[in-house]
Structure formats: structure tokens, C-alpha cells
Amino acid sequence: KAGVTQTPRYLIKTRGQQVTLSCSPISGHRSVSWYQQTPGQGLQFLFEYFSETQRNKGNFPGRFSGRQFSNSRSEMNVSTLELGDSALYLCASSLSPPGPVGLVEQYFGPGTRLTVT
């Protein structure tokens, strides 16, 4: 069974540009979450999608957006990139229907390393 895949794996962008990251969940998984990981800060929750609907959103500015398609694949977009957006962006999928997140097993992809110069 293939794991969570994320594309691209590495990306270098310039301040002010926008970027779109893609995530394909494990087959059969309908819930997809996005996280930003930076050294010293741990993982910060961006948003979660289930059946094409955004269920929850973290405390990030509106420049960060996402969507989920009918096949459960998800994309996140960051507009007007800032230097501080440089990070590893992780996508996680889970099989369970919406429920207490602390009891759900999430499967993470390898991430997309975004560098903003």
C-alpha cells in the first residue's frame, strides 16, 4: 500500500511569489491535514480537510489556503511568500471519520521543503 506522497519535495521561491503544494493521501483515506514544521517551533497546524470540506483551521494568515478534491487529494497554496514561510510542509492523512484528533492515527508524508529567498 503506497504511503502519503507529497510533491514537489523541494522548492525554492522568491519573496512575493506564490506556491502550490500537493498531497496524495493513502488510498481510502478521506481526511487530510497540513502542518508547517520549523526548527525550534515544532509542527504548527494549518488546516484539515474531510470529504472536500475544510473542517478545522489553525492560526495562520489568509495567505495560506487549501482545498481537497473528490479523490481526496489535497493542495495548499501560499500567496505573497515571505522569508518566514521557509519551512517543511507536512501533509498527513487518516482513515478514521471525524473524531477526537488525539485518538486518530495520522500517516505523514515526507514533506515539501520550501525555501523562500
Using the rule CB under 8 A, is 105 a contact of another protein? yes
CB of 79 to another protein, least distance (A): 24
Determine if 110 is a binding residue for another protein (CB under 8 A).
yes
Q: For residue 82, which amino acid is it?
A: E
Please list, in sequence order, all residues whose beta carbon lies within 8 angstroms of the beta carbon of residue 31, skipping any fewer than 6 positions away.
25, 48, 49, 50, 93, 94, 95, 96, 97, 98, 104
- Whether the bond between 97 and the residue before it is cis, its omega within 30 degrees of 0, is no
Dihedral over Cα of 25, 81, 39, 114: its sign: positive
Compute the distance between CA of residue 107 and CA of residue 33 in angstroms, rounded to an integer.
Answer: 10
Q: Please list every residue from 38 through 67 that binds another protein, using CB under 8 A.
A: 39-45, 48, 55-56, 58
84 is an interface residue for another protein by CB under 8 A? no
Does residue 90 interact with another protein by CB under 8 A? yes
Using the contact rule CB under 8 A, the part of the chain among 14-22, 37-45, 64-72, 75-83 near another protein is 37-45
Element (H, E) at 46: strand 42-50
Contact string 17-36 vs another protein (x = CB under 8 A): ------------------x-
Binding site for another protein (CB under 8 A): 4, 35, 39-45, 48, 55-56, 58, 90, 92, 99-103, 105-111
